[in-house]
Every structure is written in structure tokens, then in C-alpha cells.
């Protein structure tokens, strides 16, 4: 694996229902600093469960996760709060507050975690939204926005505090082709401009092949592949071929 690792996952095991439902089966995975890694896999493969472990929203049965060389299992509650502030996250449905305007949604993390005056908050919010191509409409509410605009607002909120690591949970699932393209362009823009360590949980093969520095393929709780998009596309592992073929059929049906 190339480059210095921002996150190291070692022998990670997670089960539910008193061990009867084994979801992660000894995950070993590195996320290089400053690079964009896609975690690909079918629904139910354990992608979201893995992301929740990175935020320590779930505690593994065994194994470890180190971020910037620190074992996160050793953090007390105060250190854990500070640790999570290093992350930004774009949720699948953007998770915006319906009763807040665009401006207030993006300003929320600054109001919660800083003592910045309103003038500084306004400047930062407008600058961040402008970076993502949203130059007006700050007084609108989420239900007045298109899907692509909601994604812009969600991303602006995720990066407003300048996190070191950015997580995307199924960012293009359920979107029409035009909005999917918009989201891909946003991910590419942030990758180019900010050079954050970025992790995308997805089953969107075209986006991964286009954007990723690295691809990890998660299948039945195990990592079957880690490498460059070109190598993934040519992989002969049966589970990968089946995944690629199934997703191609889905995309063709969607386009028709």
C-alpha cells in the first residue's frame, strides 16, 4: 500500500446478536494519507459497519484501529469527542436539518464547537458554499433544494471545520444520472483542492473507477482486494467479477 497511512485497521472483527451474525471477519486495511479510497461491496457487505468503527460509533469484538498513529480504543470520552471532530461526513440522505436554512445548516458545526463571531461564521459559510459552487439561496430550506444542491449543502457542513478525514456513506445511491454526475464532480473537486484523506463507502463502480486513488473490495466481511482502479477492473477473483457484472447490468437497466 502506497504512502503514509492515516488510518490502519488491523484484524477487525464485529458481530451482532451475541456473535451469531458475524459481519466483519478480520479486516486488515490501510487508508493512505491525502488519498481517496473507495470501499466497494454489495449491500450488506459491511461497508457502513466499517465506517461506524472508524468513528468509534461501534466497538469491535476484537482488533484495532489507529488514526495518525493513535490507537482509538484508548481514548477516554473527552479525547473521543476531539477525535471525532477531525472527521467530516456526508450521509446518504445528506442528513440536513429540515427546519434550518441552508446557511444555518452549514453554520451549525461552527456554532456548536467554536466561539467565532457571527461575521466570521458568515464569511466562512459563504466561502465554503462558494467553493462547492453554491453562490446564493442561503435562506432556502432543504425541501426547496434539488438533490444535487442538498448534497452541496451536506458537503459544505462536513468540511466547514476543516476536518482531516472526510467520509462519504453511499453518496450516489438512489440519485438520477445528472445528480450522480454532480456528486462525482463535487468529490473530485474536494479531492483536488483539499487533499483530505477521503473514504467513500459505495457500490457505484463507475464513480470508483473514475475518482478513486485506491479501491478496497469488501465481500462477506473480508477484504478481497486492495489496489488501483485499473487493477480492480481487471481482477479475476470470482466474487469481484460477479460484482462487476451485476452492477453493469443494473446500470444498463437504469439508463434504459
Is there a contact between 13 and 26 (Cβ–Cβ < 8 Å)?
A: yes
Is there a contact between 59 and 223 (Cβ–Cβ < 8 Å)?
A: no
pLDDT digits 0-9 by tens, 56-87: 999 999 999 999 889 999 999 999 988 998 99
Bridge pairing between strands 21-32 and 5-16 = antiparallel
> Looking at residue 182, what is its pLDDT?
86
Contacts of 144 (CB under 8 A, 6+ apart): none
Q: Is the pLDDT of residue 89 over 50?
A: yes
Q: Is the pLDDT of residue 254 over 80?
A: no
Per DSSP, the three-state class of 205 is helix
- In which band, very low, low, confident or very high, does the pLDDT at 131 lie, cut at 50, 70 and 90? confident
Domain range list for the chain: 5-86+168-255, 97-162
Superfamily of domain 5-86+168-255: P-loop containing nucleotide triphosphate hydrolases (3.40.50.300)
Contacts of 122 (CB under 8 A, 6+ apart): 103, 107
Per DSSP, the three-state class of 63 is strand
Q: What is the spatial distance between Cα 207 and Cα 12, in angstroms, rounded to a whole number? A: 27
Stronger pLDDT, 115 or 18, i.e. the higher one: 115
pLDDT digits 0-9 by tens, 161-219: 999 999 999 888 878 888 888 889 888 888 888 888 999 999 889 999 999 999 999 99
Query: Torsions phi, psi of 164, nearest 5?
Result: -90, -25
Q: Order across the sheet with 70-71: list the strands.
A: 21-32, 5-16, 62-67, 70-71
Question: Which residues on neighbouring strands pair with residue 224, listed in sequence order?
Answer: none
For the full predicted model, state whether its pTM sits above 0.85: yes
Q: Where are the alpha helices (DSSP H) in the chain?
A: 47-54, 77-84, 102-113, 118-131, 147-159, 177-194, 205-211, 229-234, 238-255
Q: What is the spatial distance between Cα 29 and Cα 132, in angstroms, rounded to a whole number? A: 30
Amino acid at each position: 500500500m502506497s504512502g503514509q497511512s492515516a488510518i490502519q485497521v488491523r484484524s477487525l472483527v464485529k458481530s451482532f446478536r451475541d456473535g451469531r451474525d458475524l459481519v466483519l471477519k478480520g479486516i486488515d486495511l490501510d487508508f493512505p494519507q491525502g488519498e481517496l479510497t473507495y470501499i466497494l461491496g454489495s449491500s450488506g457487505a459491511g461497508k457502513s459497519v466499517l465506517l461506524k468503527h472508524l468513528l468509534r460509533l461501534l466497538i469491535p469484538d476484537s482488533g484495532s484501529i489507529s488514526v495518525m498513529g493513535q490507537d482509538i480504543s484508548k481514548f477516554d470520552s473527552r479525547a473521543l469527542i476531539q477525535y471525532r471532530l477531525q472527521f467530516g461526513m456526508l450521509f446518504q440522505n445528506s442528513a440536513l436539518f429540515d427546519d434550518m436554512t441552508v446557511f444555518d445548516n452549514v453554520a451549525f458545526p461552527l456554532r456548536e464547537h467554536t466561539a467565532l463571531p457571527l461575521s466570521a461564521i458568515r464569511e466562512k459559510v459563504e466561502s465554503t458554499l462558494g467553493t462547492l459552487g453554491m453562490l446564493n439561496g442561503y435562506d432556502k430550506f432543504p425541501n426547496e433544494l434539488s438533490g444535487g444542491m442538498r448534497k452541496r449543502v451536506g458537503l459544505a457542513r462536513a468540511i466547514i471545520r476543516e476536518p482531516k478525514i472526510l467520509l462519504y456513506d453511499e453518496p450516489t445511491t438512489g440519485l438520477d444520472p445528472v445528480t450522480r454526475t454532480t456528486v462525482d464532480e463535487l468529490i473530485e473537486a474536494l479531492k483536488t483542492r483539499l487533499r483530505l484523506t477521503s473514504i467513500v463507502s459505495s457500490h457505484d463502480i463507475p464513480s470508483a473507477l473514475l475518482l478513486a486513488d485506491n479501491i478496497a473490495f469488501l465481500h462477506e466481511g473480508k477484504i478481497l482486494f486492495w489496489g488501483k482502479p485499473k487493477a480492480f477492473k481487471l481482477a479475476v477473483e470470482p466474487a469481484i467479477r460477479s460484482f462487476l457484472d451485476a452492477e453493469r447490468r443494473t446500470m444498463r437497466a437504469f439508463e434504459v
